[in-house]
C-alpha cells in the first residue's frame, strides 16, 4: 500500500511498491489530466511488455504527487539482460526512443538492461528521488502482473 503524501504533496522518500490497480486508483482516477496520462501510461506499459523482456518499472515526478494536473510521465524501464532493441517488435520500438516516446506518450522514458547491476540502479533511483526544488521525494516501483 502506498503511503500518504507529505506536507509538500510528495510521497515520503524511498521506493514504494504499488500494483497497477493501486496506481490507477491513487494517481489516475483523480482528474481529467491524470486520466489522460493514465491512458498514455497503460499504452506505454503494454507496448514495453509486448517485448516479453520488461522486468521492472519505476515512476517518479509530478505524476506520483498530489498535483491535480501533472506535467507528464517520468519512468524507467528495466529490461532483461538479453533485451535487444533491434529484435523488438516494430510497433513497440517508439517506447525506447526518447523523442518519439515524448511525442507519443507525453513521457520521458529512460530504459536500461538489468545487467547494469543493482548498485548502478540504486544510484539512478536515488537521483530520481530529488525534485527540481532539491527536496527529496518518493518514487514508485510498479508491481508487474
Nearest to 16 by CA among 128, 120, 131, 135: 128
Options 3.30.460, 1.10.10, 3.30.60, 3.40.50; CATH for 14-143 is: 3.30.460
Tens digits of per-residue pLDDT, 53-68? Answer: 999 999 999 999 999 9
Residue spans of the domains in the chain: they are 14-143
- Residue 39 has phi, psi (to 5 degrees) of -65, -40
- Three cell numbers, residue 8: 509538500
What is the C-alpha end-to-end distance of the chain, expressed in Å? 16
pTM for the full predicted model: 0.96
Per the DSSP assignment, residues forming a β-bridge with 30 are none
Over residues 50-109, the pLDDT tens digits come to 999 999 999 999 999 999 999 999 999 999 999 999 999 999 999 999 999 999 999 999
Amino acid at each position: 500500500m502506498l503511503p500518504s503524501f507529505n506536507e509538500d504533496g510528495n510521497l515520503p522518500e524511498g521506493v514504494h511498491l504499488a500494483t497497477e490497480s493501486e496506481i490507477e486508483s491513487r494517481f489516475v482516477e483523480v482528474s481529467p489530466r491524470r486520466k489522460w496520462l493514465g491512458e498514455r501510461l497503460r499504452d506505454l506499459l503494454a507496448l514495453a511488455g509486448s517485448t516479453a523482456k520488461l522486468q521492472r518499472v519505476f515512476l517518479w515526478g509530478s505524476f506520483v504527487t498530489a498535483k491535480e494536473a501533472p506535467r507528464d510521465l517520468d519512468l524507467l524501464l528495466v529490461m532483461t539482460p538479453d533485451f535487444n532493441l533491434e529484435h523488438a517488435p516494430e510497433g513497440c520500438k517508439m517506447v525506447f526512443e526518447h523523442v518519439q516516446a515524448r511525442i507519443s506518450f507525453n513521457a520521458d522514458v529512460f530504459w536500461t538492461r538489468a545487467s547494469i547491476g543493482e548498485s548502478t540502479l540504486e544510484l539512478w533511483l536515488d537521483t530520481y528521488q530529488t525534485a527540481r526544488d532539491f527536496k527529496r521525494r518518493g518514487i514508485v516501483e510498479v508491481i508487474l502482473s
